[in-house]
Structure 1
Amino acid sequence: MAMLGNLFVRFKQQIETSDRIADDSLKTHYYKAKFNQVFESVEKLFRDDADCQVTTVSKEHGEIAIEINKPIRCFLIVTIVAVKPMETAVDFNISSERFSLLGTYPALKKRINSYYERINQLHTFVGIKNS
C-alpha cells in the first residue's frame, strides 16, 4: 500500500515546505541572520537568476512571488519569517500546471532543495525543527 502512495506522490503538482512534513529535506530551514538580511539576499538570488522573474515582493508579509520559466514552468512563493531577533525561517510553496508522465513532484522537490542549498551558502544554516 505504501508503494501505491509513493506512486501518487510523484504526480503531485504542488509542494509546500513546513515543520510538519515527513521529508526532512522539505522541512522549514532556519538561518542565523536578521530578517532583513535574509529577505534581501533571497530577493537578490531570484532577481539575478535568468530563469526566474520576480512578480511580487511584500516585505511586510515576508513574501516573494516568482515565476520560473526553466526547466519547467512553475510558480514559487517564498515566505521569510523572523522567529527570533537573529533567527529567520524560510519556506517555499511551489506549483506547476504542467503534467509529466514521470511525475512533476521530483523536479519540483529538486528545485526547492537547490534553492535551500544556495541560501545555505549565503547564511549560517541553523537547522530544521523536528516535530
Structure 2
Amino acid sequence: MGIIQKAKLYLGNHTETKENHFDEKLRTRYYKAMKDKVIAEIEGVINQRQGYEIARVEEDRGEVIVKVKKGKKKLIVFTVIMVRPNKTAVDISVDTDTVLFTDFGHSRHVIYGIYEDLDKRLTFIGSGLGDELIKY
C-alpha cells in the first residue's frame, strides 16, 4: 500500500468497497445465497444496530439505503447483485457527516463491522472474485 493510498484511508469522510480495492478487507464480498436472502440478512444486521434506520429497500435494483442518526451521522448504501444462481455480490458505500474534512477512518471501520456480521449470517465464498466468475 502506497503513501497516497494510506492517506486516503484516513483523510476523507467517504469509503466504499470495490472489486479490486488495495485494502483486501474493502473488496467486494461474495456470498452463497440468492439476492433476496442477502437483502433480508442485511436488513437483519442493520436492525440489530442501535441508531441505524433503513430508509429504503429497492429489491429490484438490489439497493438498501440506511441512515445512521446516533453518534456520527452516516449514510450507508448497500449494492446487492446476483452474479450467478446462488452467488451474490455485496458492495457497501459509507458517507460520514463530519465538521472536519475527515472521519479518521471511521467509515472504513463501519464497513469492516458490517461485513463481519454478514459473514456470520451468510456463507462467505470470497472477496474480489469478479474476474474468476467472468471466466466461466
TM over 0.5: yes
Write the letter of the residue equivalent to 1:87. K
The runs of 5 or more residues in structure 1 that have no matched partner are none
Which shifted more, 42-51 or 5-14?
5-14
Q: How far apart are 1:5 and its partner, in Å?
A: 5.6
In structure 1, the residue matched to 2:88 is 88
Write the letter of the residue equivalent to 2:22. A
Is residue 9–residue 108 contact of structure 2 (8 Å, CA) maintained in 1?
no
Structure 1 stretches of 4+ with a deviation exceeding 4 A read: none
SS in 2 for 1:93: strand
Give the paired residue count.
129
Is residue 15–residue 105 contact of structure 1 (8 Å, CA) maintained in 2?
no
- State percent identity of aligned pairs: 22
The runs of 5 or more residues in structure 2 that have no matched partner are 132-136
Is residue 9–residue 105 contact of structure 2 (8 Å, CA) maintained in 1?
no
Structure 1's 91 and 5: CA in aligned 2 closer, same or farther, altered over 3 A? closer
SS in 1 for 2:124: strand
Q: How far apart are 1:99 and its partner, in Å?
A: 3.7
Structure 1's 111 and 8: CA in aligned 2 closer, same or farther, altered over 3 A? closer
SS in 2 for 1:126: strand
Separation of aligned partners in 2, 1:84 and 1:100: 42
Is residue 50–residue 70 contact of structure 2 (8 Å, CA) maintained in 1?
no
Separation of aligned partners in 2, 1:81 and 1:5: 27
Is the aligned partner of 1:31 residue 2:31? Answer: yes
Write the letter of the residue equivalent to 1:106. G
Q: CA RMSD in A?
A: 2.0
